[in-house]
Amino acid sequence: MTYIRHKLKRLDLNIAYACNIKCSGCISLSDFPRKGVATLEEVDSWLKYWHNYLDIDVIVLFGGEPLINPKLLDICKCIRKYYPASTIRLITNGYLLDNFDPKCWFEYEPFEIQVSIHRLDHESNINKKIKKIIETKKGWSTTVENLNQHQQIKFSLENFTIYKSKFKDFVAPYGFANNQPIPLSSDPKKAHSLCGSPNTPVLYKGKLYKCPPVANLIDLLDENWNNYKSCDSHEGLETFIKSVGCPESVCAQCPDNTNAIIFDHFDKGNVHVKEKNLS
Ligand SMILES: C[S@@+](CC[C@H](N)C(=O)[O-])C[C@H]1O[C@@H](n2cnc3c(N)ncnc32)[C@H](O)[C@@H]1O
Ligand code: SF4
């Protein structure tokens, strides 16, 4: 049977709902009680279905914290089964990199690791873990990039790239009432024009959502959040694909330039890391 495959530049694949740290304003709501990871069987069944319909350039191992998923390497293998040529990108806070053989990632090239530095006082600790991966091979090139919202150092070796990224401000993708997220009522176009995830659909528990905040808010709080409907089969896929990267009514949940709640990520009080992560 021949299927119509839609092109996506990037799809985030949520493989961990929980995180080992808590960042205020996190787009995956790591500062609220989140539990669990996706199982290998679940990921396999999602990709078995969606690979018929989606042609994806970059598949992102996303969470929560993907390194807490005990089947992470099997999930990489599973992605390769359905997507032999796509780039796999692991986005991680880096604290648990030492739980893995530093050479293991090279088996899944083209592969990228984006390490987010969440605490400046822990940067040297995370640097050591990145160095262990780099030291397994010779010939890396290094560049420093100053992007819009953050600084990034890029280490490249053929089909393998490690990015070390630092973000200063986290804008919460919702409002607050009694310490609980509530949707704002912004102008969707204005909110989307300022959005930190304007173009990053996510496969979350087998369904496609516009962005990580929408998926996580619906899962944590309310399946009718802002009347958003996820895409759960190829029948709604064309409409979903057209909405990627565009403002739509759900974007009213996010701040525009008048009502943003901003957390300074360089303030230790906004990033909670348990001591056991620092070994
Ligand atoms: C949600 S985290 C998940 C992956 C992993 N736990 C990590 O920390 O990299 C993915 C990326 O989103 C960024 N992020 C989270 N909340 C954000 C926000 N409100 N504004 C901007 N970036 C945010 C993090 O810095 C990280 O680079
Ligand atoms: S709802 Fe819209 S504005 Fe908010 S994070 Fe998602 S894409 Fe961005």
Is the pLDDT reported for residue 1 higher than 80?
no
Is the pLDDT reported for residue 91 higher than 70?
yes
Q: What is the number of other CB atoms lying within 10 angstroms of the CB of residue 210? A: 26
Ligand 2 center to 253 CA (angstroms): 8
Strand partners, 111: 88, 160
pLDDT digits (tens, 9 = 90+) for 94-146: 999 999 999 999 999 999 999 999 999 999 999 999 999 999 999 999 999 87
Q: What span, in angstroms and rounded, lies between the C-alpha atoms of 63 and 60?
A: 9
Q: What span, in angstroms and rounded, lies between the C-alpha atoms of 249 and 180?
A: 21
β-strands 202-204, 207-209: how paired?
A: antiparallel
- Mean of the pLDDT values across residues 240-258? 95
Q: What span, in angstroms and rounded, lies between the C-alpha atoms of 135 and 142?
A: 14
Ligand minimally distant from the alpha carbon of residue 64: 1
Ligand 1 center to 213 CA (angstroms): 11
pLDDT at 72 (0 to 100)? 98
pLDDT at 179 (0 to 100)? 86
69 pocket-lining for ligand 1 (C-beta < 6 Å)? no
Question: Per-residue confidence at 148, pLDDT binned at 50, 70, 90?
Answer: low
Domain ranges of the chain: 6-278
Residue nearest to atom 2 of ligand 2 (CA): 251
Substitution site in 91, 165, 194 for ligand 1 pocket (most atoms within 8 Å of beta carbon): 91
Is the pLDDT reported for residue 181 higher than 90?
yes
93 pocket-lining for ligand 1 (C-beta < 6 Å)? yes
Ligand minimally distant from the alpha carbon of residue 97: 1
Ligand 2 center to 215 CA (angstroms): 10
pLDDT at 4 (0 to 100)? 87
Is the pLDDT reported for residue 279 higher than 80?
no
State percent of the chain over pLDDT 90.
Answer: 85
Residue with tokens 């899962």: 219
When the candidates are 3.20.20.70, 2.30.30.140, 3.40.50.300, 3.40.1010.10, the CATH number that belongs to 6-278 is 3.20.20.70
Closest residue by Cα to residue 192 from 250, 273, 234: 250
pLDDT at 149 (0 to 100)? 63
Atom of ligand 1 nearest to the CA of 28: 1
**Burial (CB count <10 Å: 0-12, 13-18, 19+), residue 102:** middle
Closest residue by Cα to residue 62 from 197, 160, 159: 197
Ligand 2 center to 192 CA (angstroms): 6
pLDDT digits (tens, 9 = 90+) for 262-275: 999 888 999 999 87
pLDDT digits (tens, 9 = 90+) for 211-221: 999 999 999 99
Ligand 2 center to 249 CA (angstroms): 10
Residue 186 makes CB contacts below 8 A (sequence gap 6+) with: 251, 252, 253, 254, 255, 256, 258, 259
Residue 48 makes CB contacts below 8 A (sequence gap 6+) with: 82
Atom of ligand 1 nearest to the CA of 172: 19
Q: What span, in angstroms and rounded, lies between the C-alpha atoms of 255 and 260?
A: 5
